[in-house]
Amino acid sequence: MKKDLHPEDYRFVIFKDMSNNHRFLSRSTAPSRETEEWEDGKEYPLIKLEISSESHPFFTGKVQFVDTAGRIDKFRSKYGKWSKNDKPAAEDNSEEKTEEN
């Protein structure tokens, strides 16, 4: 095995699933600015997760919809201005040019 391949600064970190507030303590080198108190009374760095084994459908066996980033609202605000009958502005300009010729 190659020397100096893996980092040496592993420390205990709390990982928190934000969809169901499940927390677990593990070792990691991931940086974090936040800390939280663990069950043993000590403060550990906090890493927030959108999904973990406690909320992922593969591990839970049930389908959950988690929209933490507002993806649906973002999609609707970006593409909602066009209905099924409307065409994008780029397509409308190309039709006007062909009619003039």
Q: What pLDDT is recorded for position 50?
A: 81
Alpha-carbon torsion (33, 38, 43, 44), positive or negative: negative
Alpha helices, DSSP H, located in the chain: 57-60, 71-79, 89-100
Name the band, by pLDDT with cuts 50, 70 and 90, for residue 97.
low
Predicted TM-score (pTM) above 0.85: no
Distance CA 18, CA 92 (A): 44
Secondary structure letter of residue 17 according to DSSP: E
| 6 belongs to a structural domain | no
Total domains, the chain: 1
| 83 belongs to a structural domain | yes
List the domain range (segments joined by +) for residue 28: 11-100
Read off the pLDDT of residues 4-63 as tens digits, 9 standing for 90 and up: 888 888 999 999 988 888 899 999 999 999 999 999 999 999 999 887 767 765 656 676
| 1 belongs to a structural domain | no
Contact 68, 50 (CB under 8 A): yes
Task: Provide mean pLDDT across the span 58-83.
Answer: 69
| 4 belongs to a structural domain | no
Distance CA 87, CA 8 (A): 57
| 48 belongs to a structural domain | yes
